[in-house]
Amino acid sequence: MPIALIRHALFAPKRPRRHLPAPTELKRSYDVVIVGGGGHGLAAAYYLARYHGIRRVAVLEKGYLASGNTARNTAVVRANYVTPGSVRFYAESVKLFENLSAELDFNILFSQRGQLTLAHTDAAMRGFRLRAEVNRRCGVESVMIGSGEIAKLVPTLNLVPAERYPVLGGLWHPPGGIVRHDAVAWGYARRAAERGVEIHQRTEVTAVHVDNGRVVAVQTNRGRVACGAVVQAVAGSSSLVAALAGLRLPIVTYPLQAMVTQPLKPFVDPLVSSPQFHVYISQTPRGDVVIGGGSDPYPLYGTRATLDLKESLIQHTIELFPCLAGAKLLRQWAGIADMTPDYSPIMGKTEVAGYYLDAGWGTWGFKATPICGKAMAELVATNETPGLIGAFGVDRFRTFRLVNEMGATAASH
Ligand SMILES: Cc1cc2nc3c(=O)[nH]c(=O)nc-3n(C[C@H](O)[C@H](O)[C@H](O)COP(=O)(O)OP(=O)(O)OC[C@H]3O[C@@H](n4cnc5c(N)ncnc54)[C@H](O)[C@@H]3O)c2cc1C
């Protein structure tokens, strides 16, 4: 038997190294409580500890880390939105993603293979031209391309799908890509914990105590925790948790489904999305094809996968990629998406002093994880709203200054 094996059997540590410190007792008070241990909450905790020196922070998660939408999403990262404010915001996030593996010393497998949104009608072509122009003016690479260039980029794409909706052109966004989503959550969690942040899983916030217009504590299934500030980052439960603080949000909640095939030989490099067909796909480095679409048509708090959606996603995927007709589906799942009227998020202060919202992320919030965490940390540390998120306050629904991103969100996520 090789010596190295014997040495390993005798002397190697018996237990694998923990990625996170062992859970501690929940303290009676913290400077900041973050409700929600998804990517957003963990990122905010990390930036607070690393860049603002605020370390008496507790992340309270009712399930386990990233058990919400963070590890259910299809991991699309892009910045080709419609309004200049959104384009700049998401472009900052793409930049942070580009450096995130180094920042966290944790490989998040960011693969920038470009994102292509297909136009099947003249109206879509007009809309995409506008987007390309806004993107260009904001310094984001996005160009209109014709069907000839699309054929070169994606040779397996059917350019005349069922002759219903021929591909007229597309919006080509080279910086777009996919990321290993659970690695993002774990990377932030690990580095935040190293800096003293406490991460408490299976700890549900059940009430929020407000005194004289200011948040003073949260009630959990493990007792009361006093705090100076609360960041609410609970994605699909935003309205429910905000209601605990007496806040009413303009949010309607829908299930959002996705599915994945068996691993296949590489057949498509860029991410391809078709708003007309309500479908988008990407092929992971492992070869699986991840397929997603729009949210379910009825509001619901549920994560049931449905046959209806499976049928429509498969039909449209095969129209675009006939070569997938024989592929086997491995899994189908759902998350819960909090949709705002203008398809943009809500970030910022509320009428309860010290209670900050990171909500309304609908079908598109994963790509904002780094920049949202960074901006929320700055907001909590300074109580000043960073310019980059100024347009996304909840007040906009009272003052009718909406940030309409419906056209750029649709089925592209
Ligand atoms: C199928 C699907 C595909 C998607 N695809 C994309 C995509 O390609 N690109 C993109 O950018 N976005 C996408 N999204 C959206 C994206 O996943 C979310 O917007 C993002 O993950 C939100 O992150 P989060 O950290 O805010 O929320 P989550 O990861 O959901 O974390 C919130 C956490 O809060 C916890 N929680 C809730 N209530 C309480 C409580 N009372 N006390 C304590 N903890 C609580 C939950 O358990 C959960 O873990 C998709 C979503 C789904 C469902």
Note the pLDDT tens digit of each residue in 207-242: 999 999 999 999 999 999 999 999 999 999 999 999
Q: Which pLDDT score, from 0 to 100, does residue 190 have?
A: 96
Q: Which pLDDT score, from 0 to 100, does residue 64 have?
A: 96
Q: Which pLDDT score, from 0 to 100, does residue 411 have?
A: 67
Q: Over 70: is that where the pLDDT of 13 sits?
A: no
What are 303's two structure tokens?
Answer: 């994560």
pLDDT above 90 covers what percent of the chain? 91
Q: Which pLDDT score, from 0 to 100, does residue 407 have?
A: 82
Q: Over 70: is that where the pLDDT of 14 sits?
A: no
User: How confident is the model over 181-186, as a mean pLDDT?
Assistant: 97
Domain 25-72+182-251+342-409 sits in CATH at 3.50.50.60
Rounded Cα distance, 341 and 325, in Å: 37
Dihedral class, residue 395 (left if φ above 0, else alpha if ψ from -120 to 50, else beta): alpha
Rounded Cα distance, 77 and 90, in Å: 9
* Cα 117 to ligand 1 centre (Å): 24
Which of 57, 112, 119 has its CA nearest to residue 79?
112
User: How confident is the model over 58-80, as a mean pLDDT?
Assistant: 97
Cβ pair 218, 210 in contact under 8 A = no
Q: Over 90: is that where the pLDDT of 71 sits?
A: yes
Half-sphere CA count of 146, side-chain side, radius 13 A: 1
Rounded Cα distance, 357 and 376, in Å: 9
Spell 121-157 as b/e; 16+ CB within 10 A means b: eeebbebbeebbebbeebebbbebbebeebeebbeeb
* Cα 347 to ligand 1 centre (Å): 15
User: How confident is the model over 313-339, as a mean pLDDT?
Assistant: 96
* Cα 61 to ligand 1 centre (Å): 12
Cβ pair 56, 26 in contact under 8 A = no
Rounded Cα distance, 34 and 290, in Å: 31
Among 232, 363, 367, say which to mutate for ligand 1: greatest number of ligand atoms within 8 Å of CB.
363
pLDDT band at residue 17 under the 50/70/90 scheme: low
Could you count the other beta carbons within 10 Å of the beta carbon of residue 373? 29
Q: Which pLDDT score, from 0 to 100, does residue 189 have?
A: 98
* Cα 402 to ligand 1 centre (Å): 23
**Is the CB of 188 within 6 Å of ligand 1?**
no
pLDDT tens digits, 334-348:
999 999 999 999 999
Please, where in the chain does CATH 3.50.50.60 lie?
Answer: 25-72+182-251+342-409
pLDDT tens digits, 83-99:
999 999 999 999 999 99
Domain 114-175+253-339 sits in CATH at 3.30.9.10
Please, where in the chain does CATH 3.30.9.10 lie?
Answer: 114-175+253-339
Q: Which pLDDT score, from 0 to 100, does residue 242 have?
A: 98
